[in-house]
Structure 1
Amino acid sequence: MITQIDIKNVATYDNQGVRFDDLKKVNFIYGANGCGKTTISNFVHDTSDPKFNSCSLTWQNDLPLKVLAYNKEFRERNFGKGKLNGVFTLGEATAEQIKEIEKKSEELKTIKADGIQKRETLDKQKKEKEDLENDFKETTWTKVYKKNETAFKEAFQGSMQKETFKNKLLQEAENNNAQLETLENLKEKSETIFGEQPQRIDPISQISFDRVLEIETNDIWKKIIVGKADVDIAKLIQRLNINDWVNQGRDYIQDDTCPFCQQKTIDEDFKKQIESFFDETYLSDIKRLKELKQEYNTLTQNIINQLNTIETNQKAFDNTKLDIDKFSAYLKTLTSQNTTNNELLNNKIKEPSRSIELLSIKEQADLITELIAQANAEIKKHNDIVANFATEKSNLIKAIWKYLIEDYKTDITTFNGKKNGLEKGIENLEKQRKEKLDEYDKLDVEIKNLNKNVTSIQPTIDEINRILKSYGFLNFEIVPAQEEGFYQIQREDGTIAETTLSEGEITFITFLYYLQLTKGGISEDEVNNERVLVIDDPISSLDSNVLFVVSTLIKDIIKNIKADIGNVRQLILLTHNVYFHKEVSFIDGRTKIDNKTNFWILRKNDKVTSLQSFAMENPIQSSYELLWQELKSDGLKSSLTIQNIMRRIIENYFKLLGKYGDDDLILKFETKEEQEICRSLISWINDGSHSINDDLFVELQDRTVEAYKKVFKDIFVLTDHVGHYNMMMCEADTQA
């Protein structure tokens, strides 16, 4: 069954279009000619036509049925060459055969209903699963992604959409076996690995203080270096403690003049005693002293230069691993200590007999060595990461996802439990539904095989001829054509009535053929197919007697649809004839509303069709009253529609009063324009037509609408029926 029809961007429907919602088993659509009824029937008949690309049609449970549409195009398709395709129905079948087919058909309906129920339950389960996944997707996005986006955004690359993030989280929960790490550790690693790819850092050169420390502890610094004691002059030098003074003065002895008193007191013996006092041992110690001092000065200066270079370079390096503040403090202390030691060493050289103790730089050396070692350890870690960057990054990302799934473990477990339960239910329902489909297909084949043995086109011929004769069509009948599988129309004298039928006769025969088609099919296989009927103005060109016949036949179809008898599941009926609408929609004298029936009215204003829904309330209370309501409607803007409504009111009302003299009435109007308007309106009194003349296309200018309304009223005034005009306009106003 069709539940919804959307029509737009075609014919008189604009880009907003109209929507028929909540279609029932029986649907009545009323609308004047030209308002788009045939467009609807053509669309439902063939939704694949490109001109209907903007239109849509919704089937209940997404199960399309065969659509049989009756309209002008149907007549042209089926009666274009004076012949009709044969319609197969149950014909020469025994009661037992028909009973068997009916029994299996009922079984088929039961299986289909059961299948539809399982489909509905399946859709409900799928919707529940979809809602579960959507809720989980939203909560994971908020609770996991947004919460950790700042710290771990790099790890979320490729999963930065809600759906992909949800899927990634579930995948990691199933497969991730990384070691669980703390959040702090992950953040620390992320700062190194994420962002720009790190570059290798050269390690800091280690400084060796061993030799410096060794020189510092040499005994020579404490040794009192003096001359030989057994020399005569030694006692004097030692008593006066002038070893260093005498030793320095030796360099100034040039001749017999004393460098100290400037007297000629230096003789050879004195020189020998001086030289003997400062013997080889003394000279050796002095030499050793100078060498060690020089070595110490050179080593410490080199070390301080290296440390200064390290300090300068590391301060300029943004990614330094060295604790530069501590390093600078230690270096400053070391430099100060070295300055002090240099002074001590200089003093020792000047006064070898003095004992000194150098400041030990071991503590600062150890501190500096430890800082450099720590920095190099960090540099090694960094360089190891650089050397294995891809691996390290991959491991970090896995560790991050491991942390996330552990943090969100309860929610993931709950979701997976519900999802698995729904999936098992869905799988089971799909299996059951497939079994029903297989069962349906098997039984459907059995029914079609039975139909092939008992179906025939002859019952259709007999039924159409019976209806023709029962309603007075005695001068022609339907007979099999020479070409097998076709009908043709034959006169009483045996001649083929291909070109001599009237429009009304062709319309009636074609509609009777359509009604037989609703009961059978063009082939044996189609006889029991479920179907939807779309009937568009079946009473055009028919007189009032035949109109009653057609409405009676359609009411039989409506009765069976509501009772769920036969294969017709739904009817959509479109008409412009209020008599026919009122007749065919009549239920009984007591029942006014039926929950299996809905009503709509189509209107065309300013060349655009609009739709009004009346649900189960039948808007056609009286055809004559409806015309007055339409005339009084504020939404009525089409000049052509207004003109035609006026004509139909005049036709309906004055037909009951007898013939009026057209010219006498026309001449009562003073202006030429009013006379022409009156002529166009009262000419319908003599036409005897029961519908709007489809061949009349007189489009009025908007400025003449008021002129038509004035002439229309004056016709009632001039015929002494202005009281009726006032009453109907007042009633229309009240009902509106």
Structure 2
Amino acid sequence: MIKKFKSINNLAVFQNFDWDSTMRDSGNNVVLFKLINIFYGRNYSGKTTLSRIVRALETGNLSDKYENPEFEVSITDVADGTPTNLTAHGKKIRVFNEDFVKANLRFIVNPDESIAPFAIIGGNATIEAEIQALKNELGVKENPEEEIDATGFYLELKNASLRATTALQAYQTANNSLNDQLRYKATNNPNGIKYKSDKFGDQNYNITKLLSDVKTVSDTSFQPLTDQEVTAKLNLLNESTNANIPEIEKPTFDLNTLNRKAKELVTKSISNSNKIEQLLKDAILNRWVKEGRQLHKDKLEKCSFCGNDISQERWNALESHFDEESEKLEKEIDSLISETENSIRKIETILVIDKNLFYSKFHSDLDTLIEEREQAIDVLKSDLNTIKEKLVERKDDLLNSKSYNDVTDNSKLLEDCWKKYETFRTEANEYSSSLETEQTKAKKLLRLREVSDFTTDIQFSTVKARVQSLKDTSDAETQSKNDVEEKIKRQIAQIEAKERLMNDEEKGAIKVNEYLNNFFGHDFLTLQALEDTDEFGGKKIKFEIVRNGNKAHHLSEGESSLIAFCYFMAKLEDVETKGSKPIIWIDDPISSLDSNHIFFVYSLINAEIFTSQEYEQIFISTHNLDFLKYLKRLPSALNKNHCNYFLISRENEISKITLMPRYLKDYVTEFNFLFHQIYQCSIAETDDENQHNLYYNFGNNTRKFLEAFLYYKYPNTIKQVDKLTKFFGNNRQASIMTDRINNEFSHLEGLFERSMTPIDIPEMKKTAEFILDKIKEKDNEQYEALLSSIGIEIQDEE
């Protein structure tokens, strides 16, 4: 069964809807769907959106028109239904909504289309008898909610499942108990072997390694340490040893590439054509002019130094002098200077030696090595600074190439230091190895002695044999259960195979016509099954709507609604559905129907679904109060244990699901609703911004309520204002205020300027109190009945 719409987001009018925070009863308990679920909501409130979620669980597809839709549908004993997990529930679901109509009755939308045919089981006494015999042998499933006991193969499966469950629980209990003991010994903090690595030698010890050790100590050839040997091994462990010294990455310093790039830039020539000769000869003057050009260009027309005009010819000469080639060279030099500076900083981090990692016997050699490493770094830094100086020199005199002496690549000095370090590191680690090896062996032998004592204490061999015996029994019972399940599958396959022999599409059309004629009296409008051939010459059936012997066109909305719903009801008898007890969702089936046809739709649902009890769960939604009234006559519809009522409401662009108010669930009249609105207005806080709708609707609600109330109170032909005066008696203030509100606040025609001013809230609240006080004064018994109809107890009201 579907338990709830756990959450809905980004789906039409539903945004951030959370069931558990919204759907709670008076005791603050989360309300769930029941066997029967009835929804009421006005048009465009979101009823069809809910049906589309459930239809997606039926078809496995959700409209791609929704952007990033999210929902979770909780279903008993299976994973939640979500947009990425639509059909894993395994439930048989049938949904009637406008999408069902569009998918199956395309004729209603496009007269040139036909109606999707379906087959129901036809008549064949011999096969029917065989099917019934197979079904009797198969039996029925247990259903505690409907007090149905399992029979046949299903009873056999129930008993086999019980035995398998009992055997599995016995095995799991014994196995879990043994595993808990093993886990405690292996990884319990602080007593487990894992947390005594100083004694037993394995910081990553776990239950898998423990089982391996158990296997070792269980071998007949294993001899554990004696107590004297244990003492000797513990003494050995007290001797300390250094940890292995990790490798240092081999230095890779490419000075040659840096030298080559610098030489290319420093010695590179720049064309002297169009250059200012005076600036070529004086690098300082050239740099001064370059900076001045950048300060004046597009900013100043006169020279800031001498105050003279800068002619266009002078600008042209400067542009030719400081051309793109020189600017590009300058950028390349700046980039290589930055790279050189980075190398100078980086070299300090290469081959950092920590002599504290070594035994003290190595410290003297390491001090010498550290000094050699620092000397090598100084040499390399000097080489790098030489390259940088050459680059800076060329940048300062950019237009004139410079001589460049190659820098010797001394990076091998650093590599030699690394080789020496690796020699010392290897010797230090080897120095530890003999001590460490003996200690490692000692720890392993101590651990095996601990494991040996443990297996003796818990009688591991005996317990393990018992667990294995229980597992064998559980496997055998599970296999027996699987055999019965397989037998049920084969039986169902035989039934379905024989039912396919009786498939008859024409009887599908006959069933639709039966509903049209018997329930609605539409014998002039029928559904016909027409035989045709497909492109391969095979038999092909299609349905057409016929009126008076001819294909029907221009169906009214009411006729379309009747045919669509009758088609859906008949399809519940098709070979894919009949006998499967589906979850049924019927979305507003009475669109465009008059009151007689609304009653007939209710009768069809009652007779064909509820009487036969061929459903697991049913949902019906409507916008029509008359239909809602009829739905309450359905079997178990007033049983609180079997049926729930829900209200779908929309405020602006957001919809939500709530429990149906009592006045709407128990009394389906507008009169009760109007009284409830007046009562809420009388008790509302005037400064509560969430109650503004009560005041803006008060004029209409009060006028309509008093028209009905006073008509039955004073059924003679006196005017409404006279009825108000008579009703309120000596309270002239109440009758005048009520008459004003009825006329000014329930109409804008002739009083359009009233819509330009805000509502007088205290006046509304006072009038509501006048009305209620007068009803209570004149007929307290009726007043109490009205309060009860909207779920207000007398003591609560007082």
* 2:197 counterpart (122, 128, 152): 152
What is the Cα deviation at residue 560 of structure 1? 4.6
- In the TM superposition, what are the counterparts of 1:206-285 in structure 2 within 5 Å? none
Which residue is 2:639 aligned to?
593
SS in 2 for 1:146: coil
The 5-angstrom pairing of residues 31-50 of structure 1 reads 31-47=41-57, 48=60, 49=62
SS in 1 for 2:792: helix
Maintained 8 Å contact 1:3/1:22? yes
Native 8 Å contact 1:605 1:637 kept in 2: no
**1:196–1:517: structure 2 CA closer, same or farther, 3 Å change rule?**
same
Q: CA RMSD in A?
A: 5.5
Aligned to 2:551: 496
Q: Name 1:55's counterpart in structure 2.
A: 72
Worse overlay, 84-93 or 596-605: 596-605
- Describe the shift of the 1:33–1:571 C-alpha distance in structure 2 as closer, same or farther (beyond 3 A): same
| Structure 2 CA distance for partners of 1:723 and 1:427, relative to 1, 3 Å | farther
Q: CA deviation at 1:80?
A: 2.5
Deviation at 1:545, TM superposition (A): 1.5
Q: Which residue of 1 aligns with 2:7?
A: 7
How far apart, in 1, do the equivalents of 2:698 and 2:507 lie?
43
- Partner deviation per Cα, 1:474-507 (whole Å, 9 max, x = no partner): 4411112465332221112x33224x11222211
Q: Cα offset for 1:537?
A: 2.0
Q: Deviations over 1:165-213 (max 9, x none)?
A: 34443443345556534676665555558982599xxxxxxxxxxxxxx
Select which of 214, 226, 243 maps to 1:173.
214
Per-residue deviation at 1:100? 2.6
SS in 2 for 1:42: helix
Which amino acid in structure 2 is aligned with residue 18 of structure 1? W
Cross-structure match for 1:684:
none
Higher mean C-alpha deviation, range 623-632 or range 636-645: 636-645
> Against the structure 1 CA distance between its residues 592 and 585, is the aligned structure 2 distance closer, same or farther, given a 3 Å change threshold?
closer
Aligned 1:545-560 pairs, distance under 5 A: 545-560=596-611
SS at match of 2:572: helix
Which residue, out of 565, 569, 577, partners 1:511? 565
Question: Which stretch of the first structure deviates more once superposed, 68-77 or 526-535?
Answer: 526-535
Counterpart code for 2:91? L
Structure 1 residue corresponding to 2:98, chosen from 56, 72, 78: 72
Higher mean displacement: 435-444 or 14-23: 14-23
So what's the TM-score if we normalise by structure 2? 0.52
- SS of 2:551's partner is coil
Instruction: Work out whether 1:102 is the aligned partner of 2:137.
Output: no
Partners of 2:749 and 2:235 lie apart in 1 by 93
**What TM-score, normalized by structure 1, do the two folds share?**
0.56
CA contact (8 A) 1:605 1:638 kept: no
* CA distance, structure 2, for counterparts of residue 418 and residue 14 of structure 1: 56
1:17 aligned onto 2:18: yes
- The match for 1:376 is none
- What is the deviation of 1:119? 5.2
The structure-2 alpha-carbon separation of the partners of 1:644 and 1:56, relative to structure 1 and needing over 3 Å to count, comes to farther
* Deviation of 1:388 (Å): 8.4
Whether contact under 8 Å (1:385, 1:392) holds in the other structure is no
CA offsets 1:679-710 (integer angstroms, 9 cap, x no match): 99xxxxxxxxxxxxxxxxxxx99977969978
Q: What is the distance in 1 between the residues matched to 2:481 and 2:526?
A: 49
Q: CA contact under 8 A between 2:37 and 2:619: conserved in structure 1?
A: yes
Letter in 2 for 1:538: P
Q: Which digits, 9 at most, give the CA deviation of each residue in 1:314-353, with x for residues without a partner?
A: x9899xxxxxxxxxxxxxxxxxxxxxxxxxxxxxxxxxxx
User: Cα offset for 1:8?
Assistant: 2.5
- Give the secondary structure class of the aligned counterpart of 1:540: coil
Identify the residue that residue 580 of structure 1 maps to in structure 2. 627
1:249-328 equivalence runs, <5 A: none
Q: Is the 8 A contact 1:457 1:485 kept in 2?
A: yes
CA 555–93 in structure 1, closer or farther in 2 if over 3 Å, else same: same
Q: Equivalents in 2 of 1:170, 1:626: separation in Å?
A: 74
* 1:515-526 correspondence runs (5 A): 515-521=569-575
Deviation at 1:628, TM superposition (A): 5.0
The residue matched to 1:46 in structure 2 has which SS? helix
Structure 2 Cα separation of the partners of residues 649 and 434 of structure 1? 69
Structure 1 residues 639 and 130, CA, compared in 2 at 3 Å: closer, same or farther? farther
Q: Distance in 1 between matches of 2:441 and 2:659?
A: 63
Counterpart Cα distance in 2 of 1:606 and 1:124: 55
Cα distance between partner residues in 2 of 1:661 and 1:75: 52
CA distance in 1, matches of 2:703, 2:153: 53
Aligned to 1:452: 500
Contact 1:88 1:460 in 2 (8 A): yes
Aligned to 2:297: none
Is 1:89–2:128 an aligned residue pair?
no
- What corresponds to 1:297 in structure 2? none
Aligned counterparts, 1:645-664, within 5 A: 650=704, 654=708
Tell me, what secondary structure is at the counterpart of 2:188? helix
Question: What CA deviation, in whole Å up to 9, does each residue of 1:273-319 have, x standing for no partner?
Answer: xxxxxxxxxxxxxxxxxxxxxxxxxxxxxxxxxxxxxxxxxx9899x
Tell me by how many angstroms 1:515 deviates.
Answer: 0.9
- State the match for 1:479 in structure 2: 528
**Which letter does structure 2 place at the counterpart of 1:511?**
F
Shift of 1:456: 0.8
Over 3 Å counting, the alpha-carbon distance change for 1:671 and 1:618 in structure 2 is: closer
For 2:587 and 2:509, the matched residues in 1 are separated by 24
> 2: CA distance between counterparts of 1:427 and 1:667?
83
Matched, 1:462 2:534: no
Contact 1:582 1:623 in 2 (8 A): yes
Q: Secondary structure at the match of 2:512?
A: helix
Is the Cα contact below 8 Å between 1:7 and 1:56 reproduced in 2? yes
Gaps of at least 5 residues in structure 2 are 21-29, 80-88, 109-113, 141-151, 247-358, 363-428, 533-539, 725-737
Three-state SS of the structure 2 residue aligned to 1:623 is: coil
1:558 CA drift (Å): 4.7
User: Matched residues in 1 for 2:104 and 2:718: separation?
Assistant: 45
1:111 aligned onto 2:153? yes
Name the CA distance, whole Å, in 2 between partners of 1:475 and 1:708: 59
- How far does the alpha carbon of each residue in 1:26-51 deviate from its partner, in whole angstroms, 9 at most, with x for none? 33344444454333322222145485
Distance 1:547 1:399, change over 3 A: farther
Summarize deviations over 1:621-652 as a string: whole Å, max 9, x none: 11127635874678997959996997799599
Structure 2 distance, partners of 1:701, 1:426, is: 80
The letter for the 2-side match of 1:76 is: K
1:519 offset after TM fit, Å?
A: 1.6
C-alpha displacement of 1:14: 4.4
Structure 1 residues 127, 591: CA separation in 2 closer, same or farther (over 3 Å shift)? same
Q: Percent identity?
A: 15
Which position in structure 2 is the counterpart of 1:532? 583
Q: Deviations over 1:507-565 (max 9, x none)?
A: 121111111111214xxx66554522122222232222222222222223553565xxx
Identify the residue that residue 249 of structure 1 maps to in structure 2: none
In structure 2, what is the equivalent of residue 570 of structure 1? 617
CA-to-partner distance for each residue in 1:117-172, whole Å, 9 max, x for gaps?
6557656766776677667666665565213354327744334xxxxx34443443
- Specify every segment of 5 or more residues in structure 1 that has no aligned partner in the other structure, as ranges: 160-164, 200-314, 319-381, 681-699
The letter of the residue matching 2:552 is A
Are the counterparts in 2 of residues 30 and 574 from structure 1 also a CA contact under 8 Å? yes
Alignment pair present for 1:541 and 2:592: yes
Matches within 5 A, 1:604-615: 604=650, 609-612=655-658
**CA distance in 2: counterparts of 1:602 and 1:574, whole angstroms:** 9
Alignment of 1:370-409 (within 5 A): 386-387=433-434, 389=436, 393=440, 396-397=443-444, 399-400=446-447, 403-404=450-451, 406-407=453-454
Which structure is larger by alpha-carbon Rg, 1 or 2? 1
- Structure 1 residue 398, shift from structure 2 partner: 6.4
Q: Conserved in 1, the CA contact under 8 Å of 2:117 and 2:543?
A: yes
Equivalent-residue separation in structure 2 for 1:598 and 1:640 (angstroms): 27
